[in-house]
Amino acid sequence: MEREVILTGIGGQGVQLAAKILGEAANREGREVMMFGVFMGMIRGGSSESTVVVSTEEIVAPPIVPKTWAVLGLHPEGLGALRQKIRPQGVLVLDANLTSKAPEWPDVHRLMVPATDIAKGIGQPMGTSMVVLGAFATATGLVATSSLAEAMLYLLPPHRHHLAEGNQRCLEAGAEFVRADGHADPHLGAWD
């Protein structure tokens, strides 16, 4: 079984790092993983998108997918083009602070997470992607949040190690948001 996840946002939001963390976490849990990142040639502000394919079996094709099971939207800019890709009964996770109104995508499970506010409240304003990742993992069970934390510590570049503790708290806060508000919809199970 394969699960495709597209993360979209703008440069500076941690889209590419979040995708790498998701892939590494899945790999640590014994799954096959492929990733493909696309981003503009500017450090901040340009579009950023990454596709992560997680599978229980060998992946034989590159992760340029015509359809996806989940979209994690950190910014509304890249969402329009993804409407045609998300499968019925797919999962759409959005930062509710930047996307005040969820797109009208029928037959899609939506999870609106106030990720920017949560990250700022923790004192980690650049941790929005970690909040979204923690919420997504908890709501779907694609990977365990503990695997995300281990992967984050492994992948964080040395010059960003001072952010590790805050990123850990952001992952946990995203997970707690889902648990506390009852967003763990049983229909979202990744491996069901």
pLDDT of residue 151: 97
Mean pLDDT of 72-79: 87
Residue 23 tokens, joined: 């892939």
Phi, psi of 188 (to 5 degrees): -90, 0
Q: Tell me the residue ranges of DSSP E strands in the chain.
A: 2-10, 32-39, 47-55, 68-73, 86-95, 108-113
CATH architecture of the domain formed by 2-183: 3-Layer(aba) Sandwich (3.40)
Domains of the chain by residue range: 2-183
pLDDT of residue 71: 94
Mean pLDDT of 123-148: 95
Query: What percent of the chain has pLDDT above 90?
Result: 59
pLDDT band at 141 (very low <50, low <70, confident <90, very high): very high
pLDDT tens for 84-118 read 899 999 999 999 998 877 678 888 888 999 999 99
CA neighbor of 74 nearest in space, from 134, 7, 140: 7
Phi, psi of 52 (to 5 degrees): -120, 125
- With 0-12 / 13-18 / 19 or more C-beta atoms within 10 angstroms meaning exposed / middle / buried, residue 162 is exposed
pLDDT of residue 13: 86
pLDDT above 60: residue 125? yes
pLDDT above 70: residue 42? no
pLDDT of residue 189: 75
Select the more confidently predicted residue: 183 or 95.
95
